[in-house]
Amino acid sequence: MALEMPRGWTPAPEPELEREAADLGLDVAAELRKLRDRGERRVDWQARWRTWLGHAIAFARKQAKPAPAPSPDRASRAAAERRAEIERDRAENARLAAAAARDRADVAQLAAAAQTKLRGAG
């Protein structure tokens, strides 16, 4: 049968968990206060304490891990890929510019031919 936490209840020592919590800068007494403030009902308060402290430790570990920095190889590879993409874009732009110039020349040639034809018909 689940019971509220008894008044004055303190957990039995959990040396490994408490050492790990201290290494991560957790305040074990504050964690116990947080658990007490929840007003839960439990059958085994010692087991609940182990679980609570274990979760607090896991959360603190996650918060302590900085995001991995990109490795130099990965950053170099990404920069090389970007340079290659820029070069492909430049080549495509040059190809399109040459095609546009050819089209303009064709249009000018067709316009000249049409003017010549119109002069001859008139």
Average pLDDT over residues 87-91: 93
- Could you tell me what percent of the chain has a pLDDT over 90? 71
Q: Are 6 and 40 in contact (CB under 8 A)?
A: no
Q: Helix axis angle, 28-37 relative to 45-64, nearest 10°?
A: 120
Q: Which one, of 31, 36, 9, 10, lies nearest residue 20 by Cα? A: 31
What pLDDT shows up at residue 78?
A: 86
Average pLDDT over residues 85-109: 92
Question: What are the residues whose beta carbons fall under 8 Å from the beta carbon of 67, sequence distance 6 or more?
Answer: none
What pLDDT shows up at residue 98?
A: 92
pLDDT tens digits for 22-75?
999 999 999 999 999 999 999 999 999 999 999 999 999 998 877 677 677 877
Is this structure's pTM higher than 0.75? no
Q: In the predicted model, what is the mean pLDDT of the chain?
A: 91
